[in-house]
Structure formats: structure tokens, C-alpha cells
Amino acid sequence: MVAALAALLLGWVALMMAAFSWLGAEPLGKLPRVLMMPSGTGQAVFHVVLIAVLAPIGEELFFRGWLWTALRRSWGPAATLICTSLPWLLMHFADGTWRALVLVPAAILLGLARHYGGSVRASLILHLVNNGTAIGLQIVTPLFGAD
């Protein structure tokens, strides 16, 4: 279990790094607005807490906690993974089509973590690591000259 979670974490972080690299017009170039840290201190703190902590907790408890448990009573793991991932991805379309498409592998990894972990804890940890990595990149990217 620990080895599988570690492998998922490594894969997850590698996918996110590749996605952020791909999203920039040039190496660490101008990032899409949703990937940028707000300039005001209060806004930045709110952004970090919302994106790195509250969003993963809320999304995982709903999609791979409550919804997964309800669907899994009647459906197999593959159907449950699909039916919990699609609304999660649709929710991310608000940030643009590119974001939802980049998150397809993430949705699969979160579903696999939920299934093989046997509870929402594994997908929650993975989601927290992902969003924490994204926030970390938002913080350090300006240090390397990106707008």
C-alpha cells in the first residue's frame, strides 16, 4: 500500500510538472491567470489556504468520499471512477478547457488511489500534495523571471 501510494505521488508530481511546463508559452513564460499567485498579501494567503487545503479536502470528501461510497454500493470500481471523475473534471472547466484536459490523468490517479487505498485518505493526501505543489510553483515561478 505504501509503495503504491509513493508511486502514485511520484507520478502525480511528474505529471503536474510536465503540465505546468507545457502550459507556459516559453520555459517559465507567461502563465495562465489561474496559475498565478495574487499580488496582495491577504489575497495570497487566502489563495494558498483555499487552493492548497480547503479545495482538496472539500472535493475529496464529496467526490471520492460520499459520492464514491454511494455509487460503489451498486457499481464496480471502473464505473465508479468514471462517474466520480467526470463531474470533478466538469467543475474544473470553469478555469478553461485546458485545465480540465490536463487534469484527466489526475482524476484517474485520484480514483485509483481511492480504490486501492480503500478510503478517501489516499486520494486526499495525493490531492493535497498536488495542490501544494501547484502553490509552490506559483510562489517560486516569479523568482525565475516569469510574469
C-alpha cell at 24: 507556459
Neighbours of 21 (CB within 10 A): 12
pLDDT tens digits, 44-103: 899 899 999 999 999 999 999 999 999 999 999 999 999 999 999 999 887 777 778 888
How far apart CA 38 and CA 49 sit, in angstroms, is 13
Between 99 and 133, residue with greater pLDDT: 133
The model carries a pTM of 0.77
Predicted pLDDT at 27: 42
